Amino acid sequence: RLFYAFIKRFKKIYPSGNLNNENFYQKMIIASLIEKETSDFNEKRIIAGIIYKRLKIRMPLQIDASVIYAKKLKNIWNGKLSKEDYLIESPFNTYKIYGLPPSPISSFSKESFKAVQNPLKTDYLYYFTKDGKKHIFSKTFKEHLRKLRGGR
């Protein structure tokens, strides 16, 4: 009941077109993932496009923020991700599941929801950040690996 009250109020504040409640909830989940990935609005739009593309081709979303959230739920988050962390059993671990986690992983900004509503369509399918701020985007896995190793 609280959820439906939230949706009704949210739609009044931010009209989002013809969304049914299920579609709206999915957009909330995506907005929460994006919120934790970046604060840059343009990057939010690019990442939203990548998420939609990965969902369409049934590729795992592979979002680090979801692994962090899963670790926090289990009270085992120590501030750093290790290779083993990506194997954690959780419906929120988007490295292990296909599709979206069962619920949002955080609150989200208006900008994140706008990015979900208006994603940038690019050829990108991969991204990472080395500094925790600016993301580096790639079209192919081969290109992604090259950039991860330091080659641009």
> In terms of domains, do 109 and 45 share one?
yes
> In terms of domains, do 81 and 149 share one?
no
The pLDDT of residue 132 is 72
> In terms of domains, do 30 and 87 share one?
yes
The pLDDT of residue 10 is 66
- Residues, the chain: 152
> In terms of domains, do 134 and 77 share one?
no
| Contact partners, residue 102, CB within 8 Å, separation at least 6 | 91, 92
Residue at token pair 């992983």: 105
| Mean pLDDT (whole number) for 92-107 | 96
Q: Would the pTM count as exceeding 0.75?
A: yes
Cβ-based burial of 2 (10 A; exposed 0-12, middle 13-18, buried ≥19): exposed
Which range of residues forms the domain containing residue 137? 126-152
Closest CA to 11 of 120, 117, 134: 117
